[in-house]
Structures are given as C-alpha cells and as structure tokens.
A and B are shown apart, each in its own frame.
Chain A
Amino acid sequence: MAFGFFFDNARCTGCKTCEMACKDYRDLGPEATFRRVIDYEGGTWNAPSGTETAVPENVFAYHLSLACNHCGDPACTHVCPTGAMHKDDQGLVWPDERKCIGCGYCTMACPYHAPFIDQRLKKSSKCDGCRARLAEGLAPVCVEACPVRALDYGDPAELVVRHPGAVRSILPLPAEDATWPNLFILPSPAAALAAKAGGHIANREEI
C-alpha cells in the first residue's frame, strides 16, 4: 500500500495553520517541525521614476506546504544503517525509535529535509503521516486543519484521480525522479512563472 499527500498550490495562502496544527498535535517545540511552509518568490519590476509608480511585470510569490512525501524511492531508508527508517505496510515512512542510533544519515540524504535529529530524543524524527490518527480513521492533522482545504491525503492512485492536473515537483523541490515523492501538487500560475524564470526561497530562516 502507498500513502501520499495532495497540495493545492493555487489555494494555499501561506497561513501556516497546517504547520502549527502539526506542532500542536505532535508537541513539537520551536526548534522542530514536521511540516514547513516555504515562501517562494521571484521576478522583477520597473523602478519608479518621477511620478510613475512601480509597474509589476513578472513578479510572483507562492507558498508550498511540505512535510514528508513518503517517497516511492526514499533516500532516507536506503542510507539508514539500522533499518530504523523504514516504510511500513501502509506506505508510511517513519523511524523506529527502538533501532535509531541518531547518526543523521537520513537527514543528510533527504532532499526535502523531512527527517531531523530530535535533540531531546537523540534520535531521528519526522512526519509519520499521522499513522495513529489514520488507524482511527481520521485524516492527518495538517489536512484536517487547513482552512482553505489545500491539503488532501490518501492512496496516490486515488489522489491523482481526485485531483487531475497534479504534478510531483514545483520549484524549489527536486526533480521527481530523485526519490519519486508521493506528493501531488496542483501548480498555481505563479509556479508556472517560476519554472520559466526561476526564483528563490524567501523565508529560509523560518524553514
């Protein structure tokens, strides 16, 4: 079985409710996060001269809510020396804390920066797709919390049917063939602009 997230890049307002709901549910401090919202910006405009005002030309900004993508070919599980970081039979990728040695190899390999070393546990920690909630028939807490319903979850085969036009990478994410993420994104027009002109992460300090 596989598990994935859907993210509507056109709907997301960057409010970070998903991130906060996750922090609250998983009791994470300010130093840790399982889900992060990236602000991605780019483009240029004409500088105002005299009485003119600035004329936006190709300026864009969008938000990308990102947790673990429970990848089809996870970089973290390949490198984990103990097998602690594993994909379970629900398709969820998470570290078994009975085996994790906290070496940080998974944090080094993941191009989405999903795992991190929890300084309290001294072990790797990350989004597990809210497997405890899933077992109770509930949605992951981030999906449930999103006020604009920009997040969805489920079997990837069903997600692509429910959300036609979804892609698996927009900037600044790596190409999908790096790890085959189970992340399905409905790209915004801004993301199409970014793909042409490039941009940059505007809130690196936050993520």
Chain B
Amino acid sequence: MTSGFDELSLAVFTTLAPAGTVAFVVLALARLLSRDHDAAVRIDRLIALPFSVALVGFIASATHLGTPANALHVFSGVGRSPLSNEVLSAVAFLLLVGSYWMMAFKQRFPDAVAKPWLVLSCVAGVALVTCTSLAYAVDTVPTWNTWYAPANLWFSALLAGPVLGLLFLHMARVPLRGGGAALVAVSVAALAAGTVVLALHQQSLGGVANNELVANVLAPNYGGAIAFHALAGAIGCACAALSLRRRASGQTAVILSGAAALLLLVAVFVTRVEFYQLHMTVGF
C-alpha cells in the first residue's frame, strides 16, 4: 500500500507557510503604522522575504503530488474539500502579496492603494493559516480530527512567525520602539500555550484507538519532540529578546534574530513530523 502522503514535504509546508504568512503580517503592520517614508519603502522591498518563505513551503507541499499537471481541478473542490480551501487561500495570499511587492516598485505608489492592498493580503494570510489548520479535520482520522490539530498549527505559526518578522524588520532597519518586545512576547506566549496543547494532545492519544492499535504507539518519540520544541523554542525566544537590546548593533541584531528564527522553525518542524506520524484511521 502506497499512501502518497509524504510526511516530510508536508511538515516543511506546515512549518514554513504559516510562519512566512505571520511574518508577512508583521511587516504589513509595521508598514501600515510607519510614518517614515524611507522605512516604508525598505519594508516594501523586504516583503519578498516572508513571501519567499511561504512560497517555498507551498512548493514543498506540491512536491508530494503525483500528477501536478491536473492541479487546476483543485478549485472544483472549494467548499467541499479542506485541501481545496487550503490551496485557494494559499493562491490568493501569494497572488496578493506577490503583486503588492511588484507594484511597490512603482515610483508613485500612494498609501491609498498600498494600505488597503496590505490589509486585504493580511486577511488572506489569516485565511491561509486557518485553512491549513483545518485541512486535517477528517472524520475517519481520529488522531487528527481534534481541536488540538488547528490549535497546534496556529501556535506554531505564532511561535515562529513573529520572530521571523522581527528578523526582517531588523534587516529593514525599521525603528522598533515597543513593537520588538511585543513580537517576542507573542512568541513566548505561543511557545507556552503551544507546549501545553502539544502535551495535552500527547496525553489524549492513550484514549484514541481503532480495532488494531492505540494511537500512542504511532509516535513513541512525541514526548521527546515536545521537550525539544520547548527547549529550542525557549532558546530561540531568548535570542530574539537579546536582539532587542539597545547595545546590539544592526548586524548583531540580525544575526541573533536570524538564529532565533531558525531555532523556532526547527522546533516547529520537529513537532510537525510527529503530527504526520500520528496518521491512523478508524478502521485497521
């Protein structure tokens, strides 16, 4: 039996796309609140980075398709299939953000156009993370069809996304004021809440069984993965906080927040791999 369900490419997708999306929202908020025209232009240029992170995730997810040539038929399932909803929201988000980034190169790009465009892109981003989080709500898969699955995905997005956004803001040399601390605070809160939800999910597995197995045998290393997630997450958040120190030079801040973003993405990825290992059906 070949499932065709490639865990690794989907783990890459559900790590990168939500994090890139949240990082974009961070840049968009910074751009919307910025009164400094030069800083706004620098943010506009760097929007290519969160866009690329989300795009790489989307491409990774497409690598597990056997016949991508038929992919346009995916839109026929919108509303019925969670996967179609996810693809539609991803395409909408990437189109809006990609076209915004290109349009922002125009010499005259008034805020009256830019701001609604960014707000709409943010809405599409929230829709993308939501649709991705709901893609595993399948009645016949008891380990995925729980509230833990969307909660885990959202907390993962809110763990890695803000720090990734912080990295891009450092790169854009945008004055952060209280914004940097707020981003790290969101990540710390998402780490705490996400770790609790992961632990609750793991605890629940003992009570999930089909006629052949109990779910906790599927991911024997889930506990270790959760512990790694907490540890790497804590170090990542600490690095991100250090990047905010007044003494940190621009370059140091970029290096620290880059290391932080990488650690948080790895922390998320490890738990995503475990999530896909938990696949089972109500049958055998």
Q: In the assembled complex, which residues on chain A have CB atoms less than 8 Å from the CB atom of B210?
A: 111, 172, 174
Contact indicator B3/A104 (Cβ below 8 Å): yes
Contact among B4, B6, B70 with A82 in the assembled complex (CB-CB below 8 Å) = B70
Contact indicator A83/B76 (Cβ below 8 Å): yes
Task: Name the segment of A44-52, A113-121, A134-142, A158-166 touching the other chain.
Answer: A113-121
Question: Majority SS of interface residues in chain B?
Answer: loop
Residue of B nearest to A175 (CB): B282
A187 on the interface (CB 8 Å rule)?
no
Task: Count how many chain A residues have C-beta atoms less than 8 Å from C-beta atoms of the other chain.
Answer: 44
Task: Name the segment of A6-14, A55-63, A94-102 touching the other chain.
Answer: A94-102
A171–B212 CA distance with the chains assembled, in angstroms: 9
Q: In the assembled complex, which residues on chain B have CB atoms less than 8 Å from the CB atom of A82?
A: 70, 73-74, 76-77, 84
Known contacts: A81-B77, A109-B140. The answer to whether A99 contacts B70 by CB under 8 A is: yes
Task: Name the segment of B22-30, B61-69, B95-103 touching the other chain.
Answer: B61-69
Contact among B66, B281, B282, B284 with A103 in the assembled complex (CB-CB below 8 Å) = B66
A82–B70 CA distance with the chains assembled, in angstroms: 8
- State how many angstroms separate the Cβ of B100 from the closest Cβ of chain A: 27
- State how many angstroms separate the Cβ of A33 from the closest Cβ of chain B: 8
Chain B 203-244 interface residues, beta-carbon cutoff 8 Å to A: 210-212
B83 on the interface (CB 8 Å rule)?
yes
B139 on the interface (CB 8 Å rule)?
yes
A102–B81 CA distance with the chains assembled, in angstroms: 15
B87 on the interface (CB 8 Å rule)?
yes
Contact indicator A81/B70 (Cβ below 8 Å): no
Question: Majority SS of interface residues in chain A?
Answer: loop
Size bracket of the B interface: 35 or more
Q: In the assembled complex, which residues on chain A have CB atoms less than 8 Å from the CB atom of B112?
A: none
A26 on the interface (CB 8 Å rule)?
no
Known contacts: A79-B82, A80-B77, A117-B3. The answer to whether A122 contacts B283 by CB under 8 A is: no
A78 on the interface (CB 8 Å rule)?
yes
Chain B 179-222 interface residues, beta-carbon cutoff 8 Å to A: 210-212
A123-B67, A178-B283 known; 15 other A-B pairs, CB under 8 Å? A81-B83, A81-B84, A82-B84, A99-B73, A99-B76, A101-B68, A102-B65, A107-B2, A107-B3, A108-B3, A112-B283, A116-B4, A171-B211, A174-B210, A178-B282
Query: Which A residues are closer than 8 A to B by beta carbons?
Result: 31-32, 38, 75, 78-84, 98-105, 107-113, 116-119, 121-124, 171-175, 178-179, 200-201, 207
13 pairs across A/B with beta carbons < 8 Å? A78-B80, A81-B87, A82-B70, A82-B77, A102-B66, A108-B3, A108-B5, A116-B1, A117-B2, A172-B284, A174-B284, A175-B282, A178-B282
